Amino acid sequence: MDSIAVAAHVNYLPRFLLRQAGRTRLRYVALQSLKGCMGVEAAMVLILLKCLSSFVLGLGLLIGQAAWLFVAPAEFERTIAPILIRNCLGCHNPSEASGGLDLTRSETARKGGETGPALVPARPADSLLLERAAEGSMPPRKLNQRLKADEVAALKRWIEAGADWPSGRVLSVFELTTDKRAGTDWWSLQPVASVTPPALSGVENPIDAFLLNILRQRGLDMSPAADRAVLLRRAKFDLLGLPPTPEEIADFVNDPDPNAYARLLDRLLASPHYGERWGRHWLDVVRYGESDGFENDRLRDHAWRYRDYVVRSLNADKPYDRFVLEQLAGDVLEPITHEGITATGFLVAGPWDEIQNVAVSKLEKQRAHEEQMEEILAAVGQTFLGMTVHCARCHDHKFDPVPQADYYRLKAVFDGVDHGNMPLQTPAEKQTHDELVGPLQKRIAELKAHLAAETPNLDKVDESHLAEGKFGRGLDARKGHVVTRLSPTVQQPPFAVECWARLESKAGFNILVASSLKESSEHWEIYSYAGSGEFSAYLPGYAPAEIKSGVDITDNVWRHLAMTFDGQRVRLFIDARLVKEQEVVRQRAGGESGLLWIGAYPPQKIGCAGCIDEVCLFRGVREFDALPAGPAVKDEQTVALWSLDEPAPARQPGRLAFEQQATLRRLEAEAARLAPPLAYSGVRRQPGPVHVLLRGDVQKPAEVALPAGLSHVRARRFELPSEAPEGLRRLKFAEWVVDPNNPLTARVMVNRLWQQHFGQGLVETPSDFGFNGGRPSHPELLDWLAGEFMASGWSVKHMHRLIMTSAAYRQASTFDPRAARIDADNRLLWRFSPRRLEAEIVRDAMLAVGGNLNRQMEGPSFKPFTITVHNHNFYHLLDLDAPEFNRRSLYRMNVNTGRSPFMDALDCPAPSLSAPKRRHTTTPLHALALMNDPFVLRQAEKFAQRVEREAGGRVEEQVERACWLALGRLPREGEKDGLVRHAREQGLASLCWVLLNLSEFVQVT
Q: Which of 351, 235, 237, 368 is nearest to 292 (CA)?
A: 351
Q: Can you tell me the distance from the alpha carbon of 1005 to that of 988, in angstroms, rounded to the nearest whole number?
A: 26
What pLDDT digit, counting tens, does each position of 629-656 carry? 888 888 878 888 887 665 433 333 444 5
Q: Count other C-beta atoms under 10 Å from residue 63's C-beta.
A: 10
Bigger pLDDT: 10 vs 554:
554
- Which residues lie below 8 Å from residue 231, measured CB to CB, with a gap of 6+? 225, 261, 810
Lowest-pLDDT choice from 261-265, 344-348, 826-830, 909-913: 909-913
Residue 652 or 542, more confident: 542
Give the mean pLDDT of 695-724: 95
* DSSP per-residue codes, 480-530: --EEEE--GGGGSSSEEEEEEEEE---SS-EEEEEES-TTSTT-EEEEEPT
Coil/strand/helix, residue 249: helix
Confidence of residue 657 (pLDDT cuts 50, 70, 90): low
Which percentage of the chain shows pLDDT scores above 70? Answer: 88
User: Is the separation of the CB atoms in 860 and 262 below 8 Å?
Assistant: no
Q: What is the pLDDT of residue 451?
A: 64
Note the pLDDT of residue 58. 46
- Whether the pLDDT of residue 567 is over 90: the answer is no
Integer Cα distance of 235 and 250 in angstroms: 15
At how many degrees (to 10) do helices 273-285 and 260-270 cross?
A: 70
Q: Name the 3-class secondary structure at 691.
A: strand
- In this prediction, residues 537-549 reach a mean pLDDT of 92
Mean pLDDT value across residues 395-404 = 94
State the pLDDT at residue 25.
38
Per-residue pLDDT at 795 exceeds 70: yes
pLDDT at 661: 65
Contact (CB, 8 A) for 403 and 392? yes
Second CATH level (architecture) for the domain 456-652: Sandwich (2.60)
User: Is residue 515 pLDDT above 50, yes or no?
Assistant: yes
**How far from chain centre, in Å, is Cα 439?**
41
Nearest to 280 by CA among 911, 920, 875, 885: 911
Query: Per-residue pLDDT for 60 more than 50?
Result: no
Percentage, residues of the chain above pLDDT 90: 67
Mean pLDDT of 64-71: 38
> Does the pLDDT of residue 35 top 50, yes or no?
no
Rounded alpha-carbon distances, angstroms, from residue 366 to 359, 408, 882: 10, 15, 46
Report the candidate in 415, 396, 419, 593 with the shortest Cα–Cα distance to residue 489.
Answer: 593
Judged against a pLDDT cut of 60, whether residue 666 lies above it is answered with yes
In sequence order, which residues have a C-beta less than 8 Å from that of residue 952 and are 6 or more positions away?
Answer: 958
Give the mean pLDDT of 499-522. 88
Rounded to 10°, the helix 955-967/988-996 angle is 20
pLDDT in tens, 752-772: 999 999 999 999 999 999 999
Residue 408: pLDDT band (50, 70, 90) is very high
pTM exceeding 0.85: no
Give the pLDDT confidence score for residue 91 in this predicted structure.
87
Query: Residue 960: pLDDT above 90?
Result: yes
- Taking 80 as the threshold, does the pLDDT of residue 16 lie above it? no
Say what the pLDDT of residue 863 is: 92
Let me know: does 527 contact 509? Beta carbons within 8 Å. Answer: yes
pLDDT tops 50 at residue 546 = yes
User: Which position has the higher pLDDT, 24 or 483?
Assistant: 483
Q: According to DSSP H, which parts of 362-516 are helical? A: 362-380, 404-414, 427-454
Q: Is the dihedral of CA 1000, 1003, 1004, 1005 positive or negative?
A: negative
- Collapsing DSSP to helix, strand or coil, 294 comes out as coil
Q: Please spell the DSSP secondary structure of 187-242, one letter per residue.
A: GGGSPPP--PPP--TT--SHHHHHHHHHHHHTT--PPPBPPHHHHHHHHHHHHTSS
Per-residue pLDDT band at 30 (split at 50, 70, 90): very low
Q: Give the Cα separation of 237 and 809 in Å (integer).
A: 14
Task: Specify the pLDDT at position 20.
Answer: 41
Per-residue pLDDT for 418 more than 70? Answer: yes
Cis check for the bond before 351: say yes or no (omega within 30 of 0). Answer: no
Residue 54 confidence (pLDDT): 47
For all residues of the chain together, what is the average pLDDT?
Answer: 88
What pLDDT is attached to residue 490? 67
Predicted confidence at residue 69, as pLDDT, reads 39
In this predicted model, what pLDDT tens digit does every residue of 337-392 receive, in sequence order?
999 999 999 999 999 998 888 766 889 999 999 999 999 999 999 999 999 999 99
What is the identity of the amino acid at 340?
A: G
What pLDDT shows up at residue 629? 84
Report whether 319 contacts 795 (CB < 8 A): yes
Average pLDDT over residues 126-148: 85
Q: At what angle do helices 934-951 and 924-932 cross, to 10 degrees?
A: 50
pLDDT in tens, 103-116: 999 999 999 999 99
Q: Looking at per-residue confidence, does 36 or 984 come out higher?
A: 984
917-959 residue pLDDT tens: 999 898 999 999 999 999 999 999 999 999 999 999 999 999 9
